[in-house]
A and B are shown apart, each in its own frame.
Chain A
Amino acid sequence: MEYAVLVDPAKCIGCRACQVACKRWNNNPGEETKFSNEWTNPPKLSYNTYTHIKFKLEYNETTEDTKWRFFNWRCMHCEVPACAEACPVKAITKYEEGPVVIDQDRCIGCKFCVSACPFDIPKFDSVSGKVSKCHMCFDRVPSKEPACVQSCPTDALVFGTRDEIIQQAKERKDELDGYIYGDVDNKPLGGSGFIYVLDAEPSVYGLPNVGENLSPTVPVLNLSKWLLVPAALGGLAYLVAWRKRRMKEKEE
């Protein structure tokens, strides 16, 4: 059975409990960081930071009102993960329960997943030579909810079966007169394991417009090795022609 997480930014208060819970569950060290103008801290995901709260301050010039938007950001756990398709050593697996997980022992740090991900999620570490990202607490799911979900005090993150989450998202969308990102209205890469119910267009939150299918770069990457077939046939034909020429020369 597939599981998913509902992300409801309208309920998020930006407390960053999910960030802390993620660090603690994964035993990831803290990092030196700076406050950016928009207060997202750490400003970017990294090898040791799988999730963070994005802060967005909106200013309405007409009414002179300001509005904060907070939302949890990490791997989307796509149905058809571009990272897994691009990985040359098959180190990334999409589990039937939903998580997309990098096997650290198999990862060779080629960074193809970093290029393939349209959400800019996987992060490379030059010390370990590996790539990491959120694994949706695959070591807890489904008997326990992911650490970030468990820590959320306002239910801005809710864990459940995918069908339940989609149903909840639809109900919440009606309440907010909003938009579902990750399924129903917008299914990036076949739908995502983290489904956002938004009170505004995804672009307001800076969520990228990703198509339902993989970008052509990934299938072309995988199919390019078939160019070896004409190359091998060409080489063989060349050798045969060369051998014939040699035989003819010897006869003469």
Chain B
Amino acid sequence: MLAGEREVSEKKYPPEVNYSKVLKGMTRTSPLDTTFHALMAILLITGLIIDLLGPWLGGWLASIRSIAHGYIGALFVLVFILYLIGVVVSKGMRMVLTATNYVDFLLYIILVITGITIASPNKPWIDLVPGLAEALAPILPYAPMIHVTTTYVWLLFAIILPGGVLHGLASVYLISHLKRKSKTTK
């Protein structure tokens, strides 16, 4: 053995990886990243449920629309703003971002603006930001169409180009694969 080289136990390599470990690690490394991704996943899933299963589930979706898509959507807006500030401020974050991520950001910005516009008839909450409802009024008739279409365009973009969905699926695959490998090695 060369000087300075550590002996690695065969039993410990490759290290045991599972979802819990990865999530814990991600949360420890970047809580903002974890929150951003978790909220985004919730919003995408609940949005798809509302749009695709709405005619069948009807009123059962009221709380999903109001809490899981509405309030979490509002929280996402705040987290997304922090995330964007993080991107601007941190060179490290910018270094890992690709062109695909920037296109994703553009689509998220459209989703955020149209989402707030759709929510703008929600009085009195919208009046907490004076003048916001009036400023968004001109795009109100187009907001649902742009919001829903942008979501599907994002999905198409994220699947056909190696964007968010494939990135997510690849992560899930890698975690499962490593977990299996680690069990086999033992």
Contact = CB atoms under 8 A, between A and B. Distances in A.
B131 interface: no
A221 to B, nearest CB: 4
Nearest to B161: A234
A224 B155 CA distance: 11
Given A220-B149, A231-B152, A107 B62 contact: yes
Interface in A195-237: 215, 217-218, 220-221, 224-225, 227-228, 230-232, 234-235
Nearest to A87: B54
A238 B159 contact: yes
A126 interface: yes
Contacts of B123: 124, 126
A89 B121 contact: no
Contact of B166 (A103, A109, A227, A238): A238
A184 interface: no
Contact of A221 (B59, B62, B148): B148
Interface string A107-151: 111111011101000011010010000000000000000000000
Interface in A57-112: 86, 88-91, 103, 105-112
B59 A106 contact: yes
B141 A116 contact: yes
B103 interface: no
A114 B160 contact: no
B59 to A, nearest CB: 5
A108 B59 contact: yes
Given A89-B55, A129-B62, A111 B121 contact: yes
A126 B124 CA distance: 8
A220 B61 contact: no
Interface residues of A, number: 37
A193 B67 CA distance: 36
Contacts of B61: 89, 108
B59 A86 contact: no
B58 A89 contact: yes
B185 interface: no
A109 B67 CA distance: 11
Nearest to A131: B121
Nearest to B144: A112
Given A107-B62, A109-B65, A224 B148 contact: yes
Contacts of B159: 231-232, 234-235, 238
B58 to A, nearest CB: 4
B155 to A, nearest CB: 5
B121 A123 contact: yes
A115 B149 contact: no
25 contacts: A86-B144, A88-B50, A89-B50, A89-B55, A89-B59, A90-B58, A91-B58, A107-B59, A108-B62, A108-B64, A108-B66, A109-B62, A110-B50, A111-B144, A115-B143, A126-B124, A217-B141, A218-B145, A224-B145, A224-B148, A225-B52, A227-B156, A235-B160, A235-B166, A238-B166
What are the 9 closest A-B residue pairs judged by CB atoms, nearest first? Answer: A227-B152, A234-B160, A88-B54, A89-B54, A224-B149, A106-B58, A217-B145, A221-B145, A231-B156
Given A108-B59, A217-B144, 16 more contacts: A89-B50, A89-B57, A89-B58, A90-B55, A107-B62, A108-B66, A111-B118, A111-B144, A114-B140, A116-B141, A118-B141, A215-B141, A218-B145, A221-B149, A227-B155, A231-B156
